[in-house]
């Protein structure tokens, strides 16, 4: 089992940057696929980005491609989400998620992940 704790959210202006971090407990972090999801008020949770176990492959939803970068440091049990050129529509609670048994075609599905952090609020003002 793994516990996830996110940090790094905040209130920024459009065009600014933020870096979210998610620290995982345990000694098997490198065996987990890691994902970032977000949920805005009144909307369903949506996939943002995912990274495979060794960090060699990353995946993004179209709306963040070219602006967001997901990465991981397995030595630090941490996954990051670097968010640049933020837009008001990026405003949401951002959650990291983890699971060991996900196939690549299911990285974007929130139901594929068994472990979730509590979330960190990102608010982008116009």
Q: Pick the closest to residue 87 from 69, 121, 63, 119 (CA basis).
A: 63
Provide the terminal-to-terminal Cα distance of the chain, rounded to the nearest Å: 40
pLDDT by 10s per residue, the chain, length 126: 899 999 999 999 999 999 999 999 988 999 999 999 999 999 999 999 999 999 999 999 999 999 999 999 999 999 999 999 999 999 999 999 999 999 999 999 999 999 999 999 999 999
94, with CB counted inside 10 A (0-12, 13-18, 19+), is buried
C-alpha 44/C-alpha 126 separation (Å) is 22
C-alpha 102/C-alpha 32 separation (Å) is 9
């Amino acid at each position: 089992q793994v516990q996830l704790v996110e940090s790094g959210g905040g209130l920024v202006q459009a065009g600014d940057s933020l870096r979210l971090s998610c620290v995982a407990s345990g000694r098997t972090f490198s065996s987990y696929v890691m994902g970032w999801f977000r949920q805005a008020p009144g909307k369903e949770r949506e996939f943002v980005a995912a990274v495979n176990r060794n960090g060699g492959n990353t995946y993004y939803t179209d709306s963040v491609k070219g602006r967001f970068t997901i990465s991981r440091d397995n030595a630090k049990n941490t996954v990051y989400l670097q968010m640049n050129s933020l837009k008001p529509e990026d405003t949401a609670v951002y959650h990291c998620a983890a699971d060991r048994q996900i196939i690549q075609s299911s990285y974007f599905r929130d139901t594929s992940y068994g472990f979730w952090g509590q979330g960190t609020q990102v608010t982008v003002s116009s």
